């Protein structure tokens, strides 16, 4: 499959799914009014990709902000990754990074980590450059 790249906008995050390196990233702000229109094709692309992938996968999240609608799709993405990991036993690493001192976003990551406790999940603060 070809890489999935969606440039960041004011209301939507950068999506960079590199199938050569198997490093996938979603970063930025996510508060589009049409979260379904934005995220549904991403979830479908990921599900199709996972059906054929045989290499370890790293998934990096770095959100500045996301709304409730976006969180539902983040949940769907993590759900697909956990199902894939448990079914195939192919390594999957989730990295949840947040701005230094962004306790709310860190708590969101901790909540996702608790919901998907079978996935290898790293939480980290990161300084913006």
Domain boundaries in the chain?
24-97+107-126
Mean pLDDT of the chain: 96
The architecture (CATH level 2) of 24-97+107-126 comes to 2-Layer Sandwich (3.30)
Give pLDDT tens digits for 58-69. 999 999 999 999
Torsion (CA) 7, 13, 17, 18 in degrees, nearest 10 = 60
Predicted TM-score of the model (pTM): 0.95
How far is Cα 36 from Cα 61, in angstroms, rounded to an integer? 19
> Does the structure show a pLDDT above 80 at 129?
no
Residue 116: band (very low, low, confident or very high) from pLDDT cuts 50, 70, 90: very high
């Amino acid at each position: 499959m070809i890489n999935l790249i969606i440039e960041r906008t004011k209301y939507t995050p950068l999506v960079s799914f590199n199938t050569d390196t198997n490093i996938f990233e979603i970063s930025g702000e996510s508060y589009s009014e049409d979260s379904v229109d934005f995220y549904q094709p991403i979830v479908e692309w990921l599900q199709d990709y996972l059906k054929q992938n045989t290499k370890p996968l790293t998934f990096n999240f770095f959100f500045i902000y996301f709304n409730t609608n976006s969180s539902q799709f983040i949940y769907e993405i993590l759900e697909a990754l956990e199902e894939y990991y448990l079914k195939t036993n192919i390594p999957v690493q989730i990295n949840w990074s947040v701005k230094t001192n962004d306790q709310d976003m860190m708590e969101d990551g901790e909540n996702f980590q608790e919901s998907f406790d079978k996935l290898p999940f790293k939480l980290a603060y990161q300084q913006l450059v």
